[in-house]
Chain A
Amino acid sequence: MGLTNEIIRQKLTEKFGEAIADFTEPFGMLTFSAPRELNLKVLTFLYDDSDLGFRFLTDLCAVHFPNQKDKELAVVYHLHNLDQNVRIRFKIFAPISQPDVYTATGLFSSANWMERETYDFYGVNFMGHPNLKRILNVDEMDYFPLRKEYPLEDQSRIDKDDEMFGRGGSVGFGNDKNRQGTLTEMEKKHVGDEII
């Protein structure tokens, strides 16, 4: 035993200096971020260093933060040192206009599909990936559905003729009288301004 968050932090700062930033420990898991061009260097260091030995890639996914200018997409790696049983979380941020990130498939075979999934849903371009194509969605899809600009359908929308599925059925049946004049912007777009 003995690998503590403090030691990991010191080692990283020693090696990469100021580049590694945003150290936090939410619920005890050491979390930090690095510039995106360093991701592979940091991962390799974490993998190879005899004291750190983070050789198990638990999880890889992306998160979209539309309000962070030029840092819209975060790629999150969860790494695990199985010997010492320590987990860490490592993030890099990429601009959505050019989300190029180096692939980790050279280090972890498991990254292959996880990166494909991340590409599929967020459009993160993993440079050097052997087979970067969609995995869960259809190949013809031309957008990245988990980005925040694609909201899920508003469940209260009333323009859809979905009576059989319990939606939209109340239109024109008198149930919607109290809603007059209280149309949301989205509904206005769908049904126009006329009174329903």
Chain B
Amino acid sequence: MQFELWQLFVVGVMYLGLLFIIATATDRGWIPESLASHPLVYTLSLGVYATSWSFYGSVGFAQKEGYNFLTIYLGTTLAFVASPILLRPILKITETYRLASLADLFAFRYHSQLAGVLVTLLVLTGTLPYMSLQIEAVTHTLQIMTNETEQHLIALMFCITVGLFSILFGTRHISLREKHRGLVVAIAFESLVKLITLLLVGLFAVFGIFGGFGELNRYLQQHPEANAALFAPVTEGPWATLMLLSFAAAFLLPRQFHMIFVESIKPKNIETASWAFPLFLLLLNLSIPPILWAGQSMQLTIPADFFVLGITLDSGSSVLPILTFMGGLSAASAMIIVSTLALASMCMNNFVLPASFPPKLSRGASMYEWLLWGRRFVIMSIVGIGYLFYLVQDQNPGLAGLGLISFVAVAQCLPGVVGLLYWPRANKKGFIAGLVVGATIWGFTLFVPLFERAGIIETPYFTIPELAMSTTDAALWSLVLNSLTFVIVSLLSRQSLDEREVAEACSRESFLIPRGEVKAISIAEFEQQLSSIVGNDIAHNEVDRAMADLGLVPGEVAQPVRPGGAGTVPHDRQRAPANRSRNPVRARRYYPVRR
């Protein structure tokens, strides 16, 4: 079945327009607030993780690497399982200190503008292959559906359209830290479209191509190699490295960081997302093996990366291919829109504002208008660079290959996150040195070879055969050397006082026990020390007020006694009745009381 290019263009613009209407309706309050802040909407909005790599490329990845393709989602699952000790502390830090991006987070923790600039540069560069992947997927889809040969023109049209929608979505508010409720609901909607479409294509593969699950099982019995081809690469392949990469990508990719932390409306929503988001990913991937086998059984001549679309074109109906096209467009456009918004925020804070602030404005010109136009310009520039990158990638390593290159880039921030949450001694010199080492290895082993393969650079500096290695080897080496440098330099250098204070504040949000020594072991001692600073009366009043807030009776709590020892009573007996703890665990804690 063939379509006209203009038909698909109209469908695409109408679909993006629908997303924009949903966003506007939410922002104007036409969609209830309870829906916009619902945990399931938040969870679905995290589905921006699944781009056209997931939508189209998973089938191709499964054909090449078998069930290794699941690692891209299993690592993410692990990151969300670990959310109480990983995502929630970061969410708390970003909320408390109003940090708008990954670069802001590192600039804050390591007390260094340079750290923010380097992270922005790495993440921006690292996102280019991913953006190019989206453009490639949409262009190739349109080519398959229309037989159109003007590949670069299609790509340009797509980039201009998505760039304009990115501006519409992301520059309606002045503040970079302001929540875009409309964006969250629109992205949640597009995740739902992706999920439903992929499930429908999966059902079509099982019932439309094979004739039911029984027939599918019969096919697998007749072709045992089809099933074996999925399992065999797992025990031989780089499973653990891929898991580590997707673990990092789950929250370090700019779009993920933006949706998880910056656009989080209710912090408690992350509790639901910790199991519901992996469930979303599981459902999204359930159709992949049947679609792969359907494509193989039909002996499709297109690359396996596009079997999702290929099998629907033989359905005899125009509805399923159009739906599939919308699902793929949805996946690609959402990635570009959210990534450019997140990257624009990082570029504004770390490049544009430090370089041009205060702006030289003409009389009567608004600084806020200047900021908005600056952000619009940055968004269009990022999409433009993404398009240029796509143009030079004629010999690209496939959808999954390009995606993995981006994963390795953002994974270089992983040691910094560990330092942020769990190693207060980590310092900016260590972080910057580690990041430079990791980014350099990534650049020379993965990023620069893309240009070399495209025939753009041929200098001897960039064609060192010893540096050519697989994505997973490059990931491993860059991460190991990055971490080692980070640790060694941090141990050999000192933190500034300011940095130490921020490091302590960040690690307080993790589960680490705060460092330091006990200065007061009783209420009386505490009051005495406080009074030396604020005076006796204020100290006494503040201590009484704090005890009242805690539901403790002033005068009863005093001498330190070993927990559970003589002279102690259960904490809940000391509380005023109205404040009695309902938590059985808390109620069992003992607090000392003078008898």
Do A and B bind? no
- Which residue numbers of B lie inside 8 Å of A, CB to CB? none
- Which residue numbers of A lie inside 8 Å of B, CB to CB? none
